Structure 1
């Protein structure tokens, strides 16, 4: 579940434009990796905490190469709900072992609840920050936690996903905080928490930076202060995207819409609604599918036929609807607009 919280005025990103008769290409992973042909990937991580200047701790993991390759080969869903990368439980044993190691050290040190959060965060904050463009060649490329561990880091989305799933496994109530150009974590209010928080479903979640070692509860970097945030919890749920293709047949437009559920729960009684943009949030010749359900990890195809209106300046609008709300949407280019050629 997600919610947009307005700290100050902010306009969320517009839906991606889809050509009228072409599905977007899937984001594929880089072609090769240095562990190909091995059975396990041996990793050792070292981290420290500011209260213990002369001490560092290590955690070692044997990550099955096949598990890493499985996550690495998965398409990256075109959704802003990055909790999709925490939905799979294939990494349960690895994160449970890390969680047990952190908990054992915390108990030995006798750290109070406030500093426990920072001690756990330090493990992730001290991973290397890398940009998606430098490591994958893509502008935006979310990573599953196993990928972030194997690759020794990632960008803000990757570290927020890893820390969020780790803390969730340790019993903390956390949410993803998605700002316009950044992502962090929100941790449920506890003793000594002060600073910036987001109220979500009646609970205060305090901002926690997951990149860099200076991140403390409630402290938002200067460049992100006052921005609106989408909030995503880690509850098992359906996370839906769609693609579509279509063509004109006489006076009709025939579409095939593919709806995919990337989440951890079944989606029931949803519909696809499509029509031609009439302006003022209205549609010409709108049609709606029969209700359908999609299991976790499954896709379904929905065929629709629309009558083409006698107005050349229009475009197709497509919505996946659940309980009266659009949970995914897309639009074509304007029908009377020529495609723009790429300039070399």
Structure 2
């Protein structure tokens, strides 16, 4: 292998997602009431709401407003990677909801071009300088390990604030879940089987390795995934910090999947005979894959929880990642003097049914 006499600079042209508009996102908590005619029955109380991007179109992005260079050492050589970044695009990533599972940050489809370009650059560089196949994951992780560690509380003001890979690169660092998310995205793009390893108060990476690999591993679906630390430097595959050696580990697979979040608001008009309820439902796909043939079912559930006063179901639709579907169920009725609650469910071809309810109310 020729010695490196100069730093290697790679500029990656990033093609990423453009977010058109924003919507509020919320934690799920139920709070409902019925008052006089025209008052609201609240299905989900909007608390601690976040900005939410309702739709995305994938367009090319010209080189950013500035470039950021990452320099690190691996196998006795100095390596360098330069990325053009964009302030406006970064702000759009920041506007996206954090109310999703960790693996969905790593499998986010709108990072595909960025991750693909980084993976190809690291792979080509490693081959050009004679690294063995078994050394390539080490090069990838050494790049991520070189990023500075910053806690969520310090950098965002929140105790838990997972980041998309673009944000971690823009900020030149993050905490353990941020670097693990970035690492698993790059390694999977390079063709390596990798998972997230979730520990109490920590996250790391698990990489599938050949028989004969030494160190700490965890079994998942018949294969062994070896622990790999993504914070700090010089950690080897299978080497686990002593502080985490005896802690329980949960294996989190990373793959494309939809993730549906529901909320709703309902308004009731009352008479001596009955209550007439209109329910406005918001369905958000916070996943990394489209939700196929999804329907929204709305009912006024009777007190025994088995019978219904009224019900309606939407036609089936497809909801893309980051897309929002709004559905209004109008004119549902419940008799005066009887208790009821609003029940909303979203179900589909490739999603687990998601449902929420209001508290009990009576006209």
**Does the residue aligned with 2:136 lie in a helix, a strand or coil?**
helix
- Give the superposition deviation at 1:229: 2.4
Partner of 2:87: 65
Question: What is the Cα-based RMSD across aligned positions, in Å?
Answer: 3.8
1:47 counterpart = 2:76: no
Which SS does the other structure have where 1:44 is aligned?
strand
Alpha carbons of structure 1 residues 163 and 27: separation in structure 2 relative to 1, 3 Å:
same
Q: TM (normalized to structure 1)? A: 0.71
Deviation of the 1:151 alpha carbon: 0.4
Structure 2 Cα separation of the partners of residues 223 and 17 of structure 1: 34
Is the Cα contact below 8 Å between 1:272 and 1:321 reproduced in 2? yes
Match 2:285 to one of 261, 274, 283 = 261
Cα deviation, residue 87, structure 1 = 1.9
**Cα deviation digits, residues 245-291 of structure 1 (max 9, x gap):** 23444446543221122344332223345676989xx6664956345
Q: Which SS does the other structure have where 1:19 is aligned?
A: coil
Question: Which of residues 218, 241, 262 in structure 1 aligns to 2:261?
Answer: 241
Q: 1:217 to 1:119 in 2, by over 3 A?
A: same
Compute the displacement of 1:232 (Å). Answer: 3.4
Q: Greater CA deviation, 270-279 or 249-258?
A: 270-279
Q: 1:17 and 1:56, CA in 2 relative to 1: closer, same or farther beyond 3 A?
A: same
Correspondence for 2:29 among 7, 14, 17: 17
CA contact (8 A) 2:319 2:325 kept: no
Higher mean alpha-carbon deviation, 130-139 vs 205-214, is at: 205-214
- What is aligned with 1:197? 218
When the two structures are superposed, what TM-score results if normalisation uses the length of structure 2? 0.67
Runs (5+) with no aligned partner, structure 2? 1-26, 33-41, 53-62
2:176 aligned to 156, 165, 180, which one? 156
Question: Any residues of structure 2 matched to 1:1-344 within 5 Å, and which?
Answer: 16-20=28-32, 21=42, 22-28=45-51, 39-49=64-74, 51-52=75-76, 55-72=77-94, 74-84=95-105, 86-89=107-110, 92=113, 94-179=114-199, 181-194=201-214, 195-200=216-221, 202-213=222-233, 215-221=235-241, 222-223=243-244, 225=246, 227=248, 229=250, 231-235=252-256, 237-250=257-270, 251=275, 254-273=278-297, 285=308, 287=311, 289-296=313-320, 297-304=322-329, 305=332, 307=334, 318-323=344-349, 326-330=352-356
d(CA) in 1 for partners of 2:100, 2:159: 14
Deviation track 1:270-313 (CA, whole Å, cap 9, x = no partner) reads 3345676989xx6664956345223314221233447599897x
Does the 8 Å CA contact 1:174/1:234 hold for their aligned counterparts? no
Counterpart CA distance in 1 for 2:168 and 2:179 is 7
CA distance in 2, matches of 1:253, 1:183: 46
Aligned residues: 303
Worse-matched range after superposition: 104-113 or 39-48:
104-113
Deviation at 1:149, TM superposition (A): 0.7
| Equivalent-residue separation in structure 1 for 2:29 and 2:302 (angstroms) | 14
Taking the aligned partners of 2:220 and 2:307, their CA distance within structure 1 comes to 39
In 2, distance between residues paired with 1:160 and 1:144?
Answer: 11
- Distance of 2:159 and 2:253 partners within structure 1: 22
- Check 1:46–1:193 CA distance in 2 against 1; reply closer, same or farther (3 A cut): same
